[in-house]
Amino acid sequence: MEETQIHIATDSFLFCKDPESSDLGRRIVEYGIEMIHELGYEAFTFKKLGSRINSNESSIYRYFESKHSFLVYLVNWYWSWIEHKLVFATANIESEEEKLEKAIQLLTEEVKEDNNFTFINEVTLNKIIIAESSKAYHTKEVEKENKKGFYKTYTRVVDRVTEFVLGVNPNFKYPHMLISTIIEGAHHQRYFSKHLPALTDCEEGKNNIVEFYQKLVTDTIKR
Amino acid sequence: MEETQIHIATDSFLFCKDPESSDLGRRIVEYGIEMIHELGYEAFTFKKLGSRINSNESSIYRYFESKHSFLVYLVNWYWSWIEHKLVFATANIESEEEKLEKAIQLLTEEVKEDNNFTFINEVTLNKIIIAESSKAYHTKEVEKENKKGFYKTYTRVVDRVTEFVLGVNPNFKYPHMLISTIIEGAHHQRYFSKHLPALTDCEEGKNNIVEFYQKLVTDTIKR
DNA sequence: CATTTTTAATAGTAATACTATTATATTTGC
DNA sequence: GCAAATATAATAGTATTACTATTAAAAATG
């Protein structure tokens, strides 16, 4: 991987105490990801996590206000990481078309390598994003939380790619809609291909999802 | 509305006792929809529903095995209803293009009228589908439940519209992917436009979502 | 090395998502 | 019209969840 040691910034309103600031904090995040992936969000509890990392439920509460805010933290970490990769992948590229293509690739491909520079396993985190992230915003408190900035990292990624769309076609009316459709769509398709295959046309091992969305974007914004 | 008294078939594995078979069953569904909409899926409980309809928590359990299976029941009812409307809206139409257009309209528009022929308020149910339905299949038990047929109504709708896509372009490689992307996408956009507007380009009151997806389909499948 | 901070241990709470049992209505079949 | 069957309501109970509060022990820091 091209990265040297990177640090993903997370806003301080996403936690009580910064999990990156201590060994316990890092273990909470590292094994929390592992356990949400294994058990699913519903069955995951801080109590179970505490006993897995030889710590205590109440100690985890000093880092995260609730199970929900832990999920929100992970979602933000993920999108900050994607944003970093996006900036890197599109730097020094002249062609707007090519920038957009790189962006779509990044947003729709499956994360396959864990760079191991951090305590976060990005491959597993990507699977959590696909399977669980919609639970972060499908709550009665969305609007309140949105005002607090809980979803701004995601929004920022959408905005960046929106710029590339407008770079290719400045008259395209619905760039945000297109990009959020593609991001959510690709996640759905990956989930469906694994669990509800009747809803997709994916062949094992083939990169149909990326191909489909690349074509969809090209066909939709050009005219 | 064009319908006469309709009856939406629901498979018997979706409930313990058919809620349509009694007054209590119908009240459970009617007010259950109302309460999930008001409180959100997480805060909704059978206990609260029982006291709202002057009945009892344990009586509701005679109709539905769990809160989860109640949601699954509602999702299936919704898609059966959509399927019915779809068949009706595309009957006797010759042109494949026109059939597809009607279908996309139906799948992406907001439900605005409750025909009041049944005990189910379709406007409210549509809002539940938009905000909560992904929770029905984002569980660790998806595959098991899929085998039992929990998601087959949805699949059937996707399959029907897939046929229209192939009617317009028999060589199009990803019709299921396209249709499920559009269905989920439209739901997301409606949710975003209300709660997370930075992710869309919707103007209040305008039908941008339908317009966007109609164009997207046309541009993507033609070539 | 004294103080502050962090962590662990323990206990406790209200609520959730159920199950089980029994009593009382209501429906139905004859 | 009434006995039998069935549906519903009332009550109680369970294990677990998602937390909060308190205190003691351990570790870091100035």
Taking only the tens place, the pLDDT of each residue in B15-41 is 898 999 888 899 999 999 999 999 999
Q: Round to whole Å and give the CA distance between B135 and B112.
A: 23
Q: How far is the CA of A50 from the C1' of D21 (A)?
A: 18
pLDDT for A4: 47
B207 close contact with A: CB closer than 8 A: no
Q: Round to whole Å and give the CA distance between B175 and A25.
A: 45
To the nearest 10°, the Cα dihedral for A157, B107, B123, B190?
Answer: 10
Cβ–Cβ < 8 Å for A162, A175 = yes
Beta carbons of A212 and B177 less than 8 Å apart: yes
pLDDT for A14: 87
Residue A107, pLDDT > 50, answer yes
The per-residue pLDDT of chain A, averaged, comes to 92
Residue A5, pLDDT > 60, answer no
User: Which of the residue ranges A7-21, A160-174, B31-45, B86-100 would you say has the lowest mean pLDDT?
Assistant: A7-21
Give the residue with greater pLDDT, B125 vs A8: B125
Residue B3, pLDDT > 50, answer no
Residues with Cβ < 8 Å from B190, sequence gap 6 or more? B110, B130, B209
pLDDT for B185: 97
Q: How far is the CA of B14 from the C1' of C16 (A)?
A: 23
**Which residues on chain B are in Cβ contact (under 8 Å) with A134?**
134, 138
**A137, two tokens:** 């915003």
Q: How far is the CA of B34 from the C1' of C24 (A)?
A: 30
Task: Say what percent of chain A tops pLDDT 70.
Answer: 96
B177, B182, B195, B219: which to substitute to probe chain A, counting the most A Cβ within 10 Å?
B177
Q: Round to whole Å and give the CA distance between A91 and A93.
A: 6
**A169, two tokens:** 């076609």
Amino acid of residue A27: R
- Helix pair B122-132, B23-39: axis angle to 10 deg: 50
From the list A91, A73, A93, the residue with the least C-alpha distance to A81 is: A73
pLDDT for B88: 93
A118 CA to chain B: closest CA distance, Å?
28
Residues 7-46 of chain B sitting with CB below 7 angstroms of strand D: 17, 22-25
A66, A154, A199, A213: which to substitute to probe chain B, counting the most B Cβ within 10 Å?
A199
Please give the average per-residue pLDDT across B82-111, as a whole number.
95
Please give the average per-residue pLDDT across A99-120, as a whole number.
90
Please give the average per-residue pLDDT across B183-211, as a whole number.
91
Q: A126-162: b or e for each residue (b if 16 or more CB lie within 10 Å)?
A: bbbbbbbbbbbbbbeebeebbeeebbebbbebbebbb
- Counting one residue from chain A and one from chain B, the pairs whose CB atoms sit within 8 A come to 130
Residue B59, pLDDT > 70, answer yes
Q: Round to whole Å and give the CA distance between A139 and B83.
A: 28
A177, A218, A223: which to substitute to probe chain B, counting the most B Cβ within 10 Å?
A177
Q: A202-215: b or e for each residue (b if 16 or more CB lie within 10 Å)?
A: beeeeebbbebbbb
Instruction: Give the three-state DSSP class for B44.
Output: coil
Residue A1, pLDDT > 70, answer no
Please name the residue of chain B whose CA is at the shortest distance from the CA of residue A149: B196
Beta carbons of B177 and A131 less than 8 Å apart: no
Taken as a whole, chain B contains a residue count of 223
A189 close contact with B: CB closer than 8 A: yes
Q: Strand C: which positions are within 7 A of a protein CB?
A: 6-11, 15-21
Q: Round to whole Å and give the CA distance between A165 and B52.
A: 50
- One DSSP character per residue, B190-221 reads HHHHHH-GGG----TT--HHHHHHHHHHHHHH
Q: How far is the CA of A142 from the C1' of D24 (A)?
A: 40
Please give the average per-residue pLDDT across A126-139, as a whole number.
96
pLDDT for A6: 65
B192 close contact with A: CB closer than 8 A: yes
**Which residues on chain A are in Cβ contact (under 8 Å) with B132?**
138
Please give the average per-residue pLDDT across B186-207, as a whole number.
89
To the nearest 10°, the Cα dihedral for B21, B23, B26, B30?
Answer: 180
Q: Round to whole Å and give the CA distance between B120 and B187.
A: 20
Taking only the tens place, the pLDDT of each residue in B136-180 is 999 999 999 999 999 999 999 999 999 999 999 999 999 999 999
**Which residues on chain B are in Cβ contact (under 8 Å) with A188?**
180-181, 184
From the list B22, B168, B202, B180, the residue with the least C-alpha distance to A177 is: B202
From the list B56, B60, B2, the residue with the least C-alpha distance to B26 is: B60
pLDDT for B119: 87
Instruction: Give the three-state DSSP class for B137.
Output: helix
- Around Cβ B59, how many Cβ atoms within 10 Å? 14
pLDDT for A38: 95
Position A207 confidence tier, pLDDT thresholds 50, 70, 90 = confident
A22 CA to chain B: closest CA distance, Å?
32
Position B2 confidence tier, pLDDT thresholds 50, 70, 90 = very low
Please give the average per-residue pLDDT across A16-45, as a whole number.
94
pLDDT for B115: 77
What single-letter DSSP state applies at residue A43?
A: T
Burial grade of B56 (CB within 10 A; 0-12, 13-18, 19 or more)? middle
B13 close contact with A: CB closer than 8 A: no
Please give the average per-residue pLDDT across B113-127, as a whole number.
88
Residue B1, pLDDT > 60, answer no
Cβ–Cβ < 8 Å for B108, B15 = no
Q: Round to whole Å and give the CA distance between B214 and B104.
A: 6
Residue B70, pLDDT > 70, answer yes
To the nearest 10°, the Cα dihedral for B37, B41, B47, B51?
Answer: -10
pLDDT for A223: 60
Cβ–Cβ < 8 Å for A93, A191 = no
Please give the average per-residue pLDDT across B69-94, as a whole number.
95
Q: Round to whole Å and give the CA distance between A183 and A104.
A: 8
pLDDT for B202: 83
Task: Say what percent of chain B tops pLDDT 70.
Answer: 96
What single-letter DSSP state applies at residue B109?
A: S
Kindly report the pTM of this predicted structure. Answer: 0.93
Residue B51: CB less than 7 A from any atom in strand D: no
Taking only the tens place, the pLDDT of each residue in A40-58 is 999 999 999 999 999 889 9
To the nearest 10°, the Cα dihedral for B202, B203, B206, B208?
Answer: -30
* Residue from the list B137, B184, B192 with its beta carbon closest to the beta carbon of A185: B184
**Which residues on chain A are in Cβ contact (under 8 Å) with B216?**
178, 181, 216, 220
pLDDT for B100: 97
